[in-house]
Copies of this chain bind each other. A is one copy, B any other.
Amino acid sequence: MEIIQVDERISLRRDPETGNEDTQAIVDEIIAAIRKDGDEALRAYTKKLDGAELDALFVTETERLKAYEALDDTVISALQQAIINIRDFHERQRSQSWMTTKEDGTMLGQQVTPLDAVGVYVPGGKAAYPSTILMDVIPAQVANVGQIIMTSPPDTSGLLHPAVVVAASELGVEQIVKAGGAQAIAALAYGTESVPAVDKIVGPGNSFVALAKRAVYGHVDIDMIAGPSEIVVIADDTARADYVAADLLSQAEHEERATAIVVTPSKPLADKVVEEVDRQLEDLPRAAIARKALDDYGAIYLTANMNQAVDVVNQLAPEHVEVLVAEPFHYLGKIRHAGAIFLGENSAETVGDYFAGTNHVLPTNGTARFSSPLTVDDFIKKSSIIHYSREALETNAKMIASLARVEGFEAHARAVEIRKKGASEHE
């Protein structure tokens, strides 16, 4: 890892991966096929792309039982406790409908309603991501979404990873579709004979999934197109280099495009972190990936002091920030742009990725300047409520009509004036 003296504005922003034209053409073709042929096309693509010939499109009761048998008990207990923690945190995000009244009879308000149906995409292949299921499904459940349909690509024998099936089962997800890629996104967006059409699709995926989500966006809502994961560790000379290094590596092992950065005014710490990273890389299973990520996107930025370190964080607006300093809470209010802020030496990012209760779906690529973690609010929508009394209308008709006319909308003005006239006829 390189140690760099900060002397100008720095940025994490990279051009989003858009895939090439060939990928786009394939995605468009898949979406069109699913819209036309529904389940038949979904099965055909699952056979062609995942190598699985399915009996049932949905995970069966037998498969659920086998998944529980196959999974380690510690993992099952950990999933259960994580669910409790994540549900507890997200329940505090619930929005209520509200109303306000005035003496003239006016009532104004905001009605909150959950989405009717949501699709949750869970990546498959050789890896299993049960934490994705928890983070995407729980806020939707807390929001009281009517129907949650999960979808994930099966292995060649037509099965999902036991951890995926158990996580979904622990949450009570009833419909798990064994399909992945653009074909799964298209099925969720437009519906098939057996997959219900949804209003919003959430969850990460490869470039086919990302392009398909982009293509159906507008017809349905989507969460975001996530970029590579990022961590920025702010540390002072009280920070332990072995903790800092471990956290950089936990980010860097995700993928070769992941970003892991330290910002510190302490040159001794910087030197020790470089050493520690090398030492800890030695026996890391995914060392090759982590090393490449650190070479390409890793850095240790040396600042003049802690205030400049915080400035750098705000410039970067990273997905994750760890504050490993003597008084971490002192800096909380100064951090304006970050997806998640981990305070103090025991708050490893891993704690939030899996367990603490906050959501791990976070803005990347500098979008924390204007975006938020996934919340319950992403699964509800609001309607404005307006009730005007005859008195309120009569009192304000002249002003309202004058605003309509200055914009050149005579019919708008008349819609108010006809009521003022109508009201006087009532008397």
Contact = CB atoms under 8 A, between A and B. Distances in A.
Nearest to A369: B199
Contacts of A93: 110
Given A82-B403, A355-B399, A402-B75, A411 B343 contact: no
Contacts of A403: 75, 78-79, 82, 130-131, 354-355
A412 B284 CA distance: 11
B74 A398 contact: yes
A45 interface: no
Contacts of A78: 398-400, 402-403
A253 B412 contact: yes
Interface stretch (A26-34, A53-61, A263-271, A417-425): A417-425
A327 B121 CA distance: 43
B350 A387 contact: no
22 contacts: A78-B402, A81-B399, A92-B98, A115-B369, A131-B403, A163-B407, A199-B369, A220-B370, A240-B422, A242-B418, A250-B409, A250-B415, A290-B411, A329-B387, A341-B383, A350-B400, A351-B388, A353-B404, A355-B396, A355-B399, A372-B381, A372-B383
Contacts of A410: 253, 284-286
Interface string A374-417: 01010001111111111011001011101110111111111110
A243 B407 contact: no
A348 to B, nearest CB: 5
B350 A413 contact: yes
A187 interface: no
Q: How would you classify the secondary structure of chain A's contact residues: helix, strand, loop or mixed?
A: mixed
Contacts of A6: none
A245 to B, nearest CB: 9
A49 interface: no
Interface stretch (A36-44, A151-159, A203-211, A330-338): A330-338
> Which of A200, A247, A388 has the largest number of chain B CB atoms within 10 A?
A388
B373 A415 contact: no
A177 to B, nearest CB: 20
A106 interface: yes
A389 B110 CA distance: 39
A381 B341 CA distance: 13
A351 to B, nearest CB: 5
Interface of A: 16, 71-72, 74-75, 77-79, 81-82, 89, 92-93, 98, 100, 106-108, 110-111, 113, 115-116, 127-131, 163, 199-200, 218, 220-221, 240, 242-243, 246-247, 249-250, 252-254, 280, 284-286, 290, 328-329, 332, 335-359, 362-363, 367-373, 375, 377, 381-390, 392-393, 396, 398-400, 402-404, 406-416, 418-419, 422-423
Contact of A407 (B128, B362, B407): B128
A415 B350 contact: yes
B411 A250 contact: yes
Given A92-B98, A381-B372, A243 B346 contact: no
Contacts of A74: 398-399, 402
B373 A113 contact: no
A212 to B, nearest CB: 17
